[in-house]
């Protein structure tokens, strides 16, 4: 029993000693720096966002400021033990995602560009494979660009359906040199569609053509061969408004061209040019299939009949004569026969007050052409103008309000040589309505200046129906005066 008490005393003494030691240690560290494991923000400097630092496990001090992953540490407050691992994983994932997004955007852009290029290909727009050169006495010219327009007959009758009726071809070097051809109406013995309108233009950018050799060269009767042979005479589509097909056009030329404003000539040697590619043809139900050259007389007669214009007679209007087709009242008789320059003619009509009307004006070239009446002279049809036309028929004079360049006169027939002077239905043989009075020994001004030369104005001489370009001030070769016009009756 005494022994048990001794053991108990020893145990009590040891416990008391242990407690005393513990209290002594706590007293020496009672002022700890921070709560172990807690997190606070810390300044990083240099304009960077604040970082974070973690209190040591014994609370004695704050750890180093972590400025590389402050946002991540803040987000991961509850994951004290894995802050370091989490920060590393998060940074890695973010970098990977960014790289992936960049690659995806690059691929998408590439695909878009490729699709756009593919969509730009349109039937008939080329590119075309052009071989051969335009051989002439100044320079052999190799063309690099082509613009092709083809027309075919659209018909339910298989025997006529699809026949190619018109080939409109423009060859160019991309600038400076341009060869323009329009073939229609009939085939030659060599199966070439005969060229009805031909011009070659050389400006300052045309290689090897000097200044005095530049100009617009046209067929003035010296061309021996001018035709375009299509690879097929009938398009491979049935009763189609449009037909896309692969073929070849072969151009054959030889002869002499004349410069339209001078006596210069251009001798064209035996020239063959081929154009290969995908062509687009437009169908037209109103056209006729071309004939062969041995049926020229019948074909020409039919063509002329198709374009005959039946005019209604003019009637009186306030101050002149009224044309019911154009709804224009023409000054009649002209109150002046005075020859005047263009500026004076414009002012004269603008200032004219006649029969209580002050809305007179100098006519446009389109309005002036609507005044032409050719009567029974079959050779004059190419300069007559129907007010309902948007453009002239293929072999007509091309000068009208929508085509005012100098080349418009020479690409098509504006001065028919077979149209006899003083053979019109008007007074004295003038080529206007019989109801109009006045002399046609002089030309009439239009208000339309040339689009490519504003010193020149379009005019018409009604004694022989010549559509011409006249200098605004220097017109001594042919007297010119105005005949004013207004709208309505």
In the prediction, which pLDDT does 307 show?
53
Helix/strand/coil for 54: strand
In the prediction, which pLDDT does 441 show?
84
Predicted confidence band at 417 (pLDDT cuts at 50, 70, 90)? low
- pLDDT digits 0-9 by tens, 356-382: 999 999 999 999 999 998 866 666 777
Task: Give CA–CA dist 135/123, Å, rounded.
Answer: 30
Task: Give CA–CA dist 265/209, Å, rounded.
Answer: 13
In the prediction, which pLDDT does 336 show?
65
Which of 196-200, 217-221, 360-364, 432-436 bottoms out in mean pLDDT, i.e. has the lowest? 217-221
In the prediction, which pLDDT does 166 show?
96
- pLDDT digits 0-9 by tens, 87-126: 434 444 444 444 444 444 444 444 444 444 444 479 999 8
Which of 92-96, 232-236, 340-344 bottoms out in mean pLDDT, i.e. has the lowest? 92-96
Is the whole model's pTM more than 0.75, yes or no? no
Q: Burial code of 95-127, b = ≥16 C-beta within 10 A, e = fewer?
A: eeeeeeeeeeeeeeeeeeeeeeeeeeeeebebe
In the prediction, which pLDDT does 479 show?
77
DSSP string, 181-209: EEEEEEE-TTSPEEEEEEEEEE-TTSTT-
* The pLDDT of residue 234 is above 50: yes
Task: Give CA–CA dist 170/228, Å, rounded.
Answer: 12
Listed by start position, the domains of the chain span 129-293, 315-487
Mean pLDDT of the region 382-386 = 78
Q: 303: closest CA among 313, 311, 314, 291? A: 291
Asked if 399 and 410 touch (Cβ cutoff 8 Å), the reply is no
On the CB side of 99, how many CA atoms lie within 13 Å of its CA? 6
Task: Give CA–CA dist 478/461, Å, rounded.
Answer: 9
* The pLDDT of residue 80 is above 70: no
């Amino acid at each position: 029993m005494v022994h048990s008490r001794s053991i108990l005393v020893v145990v009590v003494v040891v416990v008391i000693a242990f407690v005393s030691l513990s209290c002594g240690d706590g007293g020496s560290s009672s002022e700890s720096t921070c709560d172990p494991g807690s997190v606070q923000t810390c300044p990083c400097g240099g304009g960077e966002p604040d970082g974070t630092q973690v209190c040591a496990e014994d609370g004695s001090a704050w750890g180093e400021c972590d400025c590389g992953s402050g946002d991540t540490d803040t987000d991961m407050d509850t994951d004290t033990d894995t802050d370091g691992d989490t920060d590393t994983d998060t940074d890695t994932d973010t970098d990977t995602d960014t790289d992936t997004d960049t690659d995806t955007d690059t691929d998408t852009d590439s695909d878009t560009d490729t699709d756009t290029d593919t969509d730009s290909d349109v039937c008939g727009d080329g590119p075309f494979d052009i071989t051969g050169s335009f051989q002439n006495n100044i320079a052999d010219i190799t063309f690099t660009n082509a613009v092709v327009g083809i027309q075919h007959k659209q018909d339910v009758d298989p025997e006529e359906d699809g026949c190619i009726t018109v080939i409109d071809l423009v060859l160019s070097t991309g600038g400076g040199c341009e060869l323009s051809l329009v073939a229609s109406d009939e085939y030659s013995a060599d199966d070439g569609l005969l060229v009805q309108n031909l011009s070659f233009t050389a400006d300052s950018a045309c290689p090897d053509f000097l200044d005095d050799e530049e100009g617009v060269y046209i067929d003035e009767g010296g061309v021996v061969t001018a035709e375009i042979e299509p690879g097929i005479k009938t398009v491979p589509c049935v009763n189609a408004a449009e037909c896309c097909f692969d073929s070849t056009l072969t151009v054959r030329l030889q002869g002499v061209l004349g410069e339209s404003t001078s006596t210069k000539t251009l001798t064209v040697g035996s020239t063959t040019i081929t154009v290969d590619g995908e062509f687009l043809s437009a169908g037209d139900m109103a056209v006729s299939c071309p004939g062969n050259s041995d049926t020229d007389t019948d074909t020409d007669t039919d063509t002329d009949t198709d374009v005959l214009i039946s005019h209604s007679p003019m009637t009186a209007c306030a101050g002149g004569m009224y044309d019911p087709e154009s709804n224009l009242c023409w000054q009649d008789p002209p109150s002046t026969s005075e020859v005047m320059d263009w500026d004076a003619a414009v002012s004269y009509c603008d200032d004219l007050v006649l029969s209580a009307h002050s809305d007179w004006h100098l006519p446009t070239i389109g309005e002036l052409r609507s005044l032409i009446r050719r009567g029974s002279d079959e050779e004059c049809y190419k300069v007559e103008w129907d007010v309902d036309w948007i453009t002239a028929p293929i072999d007509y004079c091309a000068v009208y309000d929508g085509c005012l360049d100098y080349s418009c006169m020479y690409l098509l027939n504006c001065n028919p040589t077979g149209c006899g002077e003083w053979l019109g239905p008007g007074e004295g043989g003038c080529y206007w309505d019989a109801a109009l009075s006045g002399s046609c020994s002089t030309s009439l001004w239009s208000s339309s200046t040339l689009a490519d030369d504003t010193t020149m104005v379009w005019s018409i001489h009604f004694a022989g129906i010549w559509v011409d370009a006249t200098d605004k001030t220097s017109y001594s070769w042919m007297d010119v005066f105005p005949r004013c016009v207004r709208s309505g009756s």
